[in-house]
Amino acid sequence: MSKVDAPELTGSNTEGKHLGLALAVIAGAQLMIVLDATIVNVALPTIHKALNFSVDNLEWLVTAYALTFGGLLLFGGRMGDLFGKRRMFMIGIAIFALSSLLGGFATNELWLILTRAAQGIGGAIAAPTALSLIATNFPEGPHRNRAMGVYAAMAGGGGAAGLLLGGLLVDLVSWRWVFFVNVPIAALILFLTPRALNESATTTGHLDVPGAVTATGGMLSLVYGLSNAASHSWTATSTLLPLGLAVVLLATFVLVETRTVGALMPLSIFKDRNRSGVYAMMLCIGTAMFSMFYFLTQFLQNILGWSALKTGFGFLPMTIGLMSAAVITSRLIGKIGIRFPLLFGPAAAFAGLELLTRLTVHSGYGSILVPLLIVSLGMGTSFVPLTLAAVSGVRPDEAGLASALLNTTQQVGGALGLAILSTIAISATNAKLHALGATSSGHFTLRAIATTHGYTTAFQVGALIAALGFLVSAVVIRTPQEIGSGTNVVHAGA
């Protein structure tokens, strides 16, 4: 096995001159990218009617973005290390803006799905470079901790904010503005970036194209197979073939990474116990968060009959709670360390999701608000220490890799979790319909009861996955690890 232990760096990492403006640019870009993972959710019924989308293809408006975004994040991070983080950040934002503009003009299914995939590609380049630009533009200690807190708030709150903004745009303007809104924001970011951010040092090496292809192809096949099981069966050829292909491609990816100079994902990155634990936790949190957004949005619109706008406002308390928790945690973390937040976060997410399993067709918003706030506090508390731990202690040439892996695990967890939980929800719904003696075209009340049972079953599995995240935090994250400097030193140990 051939490795490059210390790639040669060219250029230099220098502290940004306008830290406030730099943070605004990075946070704005991250909010726009993460927001697009959910902003389409509340627009799905309108798009379904406007473009005559088939039910089977409609879900790809969500998964096409998540798959290209999550599958290419490692590649995007590596490109930032090789060619300059600021340069690749701007290229990613430009791709994102162009694909958003084209998506707004879509007239058919394929056009819109392809532009969603292109948005994911742009996001996959911009997101990891945005996070690593914090490490190269902000000095360690209070400045970087606060910057990470704002970044984490955008990363965590963007999903909920997307639901609110999507509802506003769909009901008050048009579903097309769900895409058009990104264009002026991206243009402003592109204008300010050279004025606010310094370019990072670059490293010599090569792009691991085989690794990117096998990783992305493997994840695409895996999610397709899992999603297909919902409409067919686990033993159907159309399910087994993509699942088998996923195993082959992902195994090939691991083999490629062990034999490639300048590998896309050097396995040595997982040698640090805390960092590996952080990635496992983010995988669990991504699953829990994506599933809650998706199924709760469906419950509010399909069962309670809420409009897109009302649904968006329904998630507003979660947005506020999540972002507030992230900012407060970033200010306290220098004193309390990351141990307690990493235990409290998944525990709170578990408790909130458990409460959502009690929803019925007669539930009011009061039964939803409390779980929303609990989950938002848990996730907001988790994002800051997870983000800090992921990028702490890595070599400058691996900053892009470390940050990309954090985003990757969140997106992969969301895409895989949504595919699995959707299959579980559909199976639970069908089983309940059979138990009630109804059919899919039967009485509305019986169908609503069965559908709600499917949603609550998905929440139950999501709660168990959050509990797994707590277990990882308690058992794996043990080794003391300094994060920060000066008066703000954060320890991963107890």
Is residue 239 in a domain?
no
Nearby residues of 153 by Cβ (< 8 Å), 6 or more positions away: 27, 322, 323, 326, 327, 380, 383
What pLDDT, on a 0 to 100 scale, did the predictor assign at position 155? 65
Count of CB atoms within 10 A of residue 317's CB? 17
Q: Phi, psi at residue 10, to the nearest 5°?
A: -125, 150
- Domain range for residue 358? 17-208+260-491
CATH code of the domain covering residue 22: 1.20.1250.20
- Residue 9: which pLDDT band, with cuts at 50, 70 and 90? very low
Q: Where are the alpha helices (DSSP H) in 106-141?
A: 109-137
pLDDT at 15 over 60: no
Is residue 360 in a domain?
yes
Is residue 4 in a domain?
no
Collapsed DSSP state (helix, strand, coil) of residue 494: coil
pLDDT at 85 over 80: yes
Is residue 63 in a domain?
yes
Highest mean pLDDT among 72-81, 138-147, 201-210, 365-374: 365-374
Taking only the tens place, the pLDDT of each residue in 126-135 is 887 887 787 7
pLDDT at 29 over 50: yes
Taking only the tens place, the pLDDT of each residue in 442-461 is 577 888 899 999 999 999 99
Is residue 156 in a domain?
yes
pTM here is 0.78
Q: How many domains does the chain have?
A: 1
Among the residue ranges 121-135, 319-333, 366-380, 402-416, the one predicted with the least confidence is 402-416
Is residue 70 in a domain?
yes
Reference 218, options 260, 247, 256; nearest CA is 247
What pLDDT, on a 0 to 100 scale, did the predictor assign at position 362? 92
Characterize the bridge pairing of strands 488-491 and 482-485: antiparallel
What is the C-alpha to C-alpha distance for residues 154 and 399, in angstroms, rounded to an integer? 20
What pLDDT, on a 0 to 100 scale, did the predictor assign at position 380? 87
Taking only the tens place, the pLDDT of each residue in 356-400 is 999 999 999 989 999 999 999 998 888 888 877 777 777 766 665
Is residue 32 in a domain?
yes
Is residue 2 in a domain?
no
Taking only the tens place, the pLDDT of each residue in 89-131 is 999 999 999 999 999 999 998 899 999 999 999 988 888 788 7
> Which DSSP string do the residues of 409-477 spell out, in sequence order?
HHHHHHHHHHHHHHHHHHHHHHHHHHHHT--TTS-HHHHHHHHHHHHHHHHHHHHHHHHHHHHHHHHT-
Question: Which tokens belong to 329?
Answer: 């945690």
Taking only the tens place, the pLDDT of each residue in 242-259 is 899 999 999 999 898 888
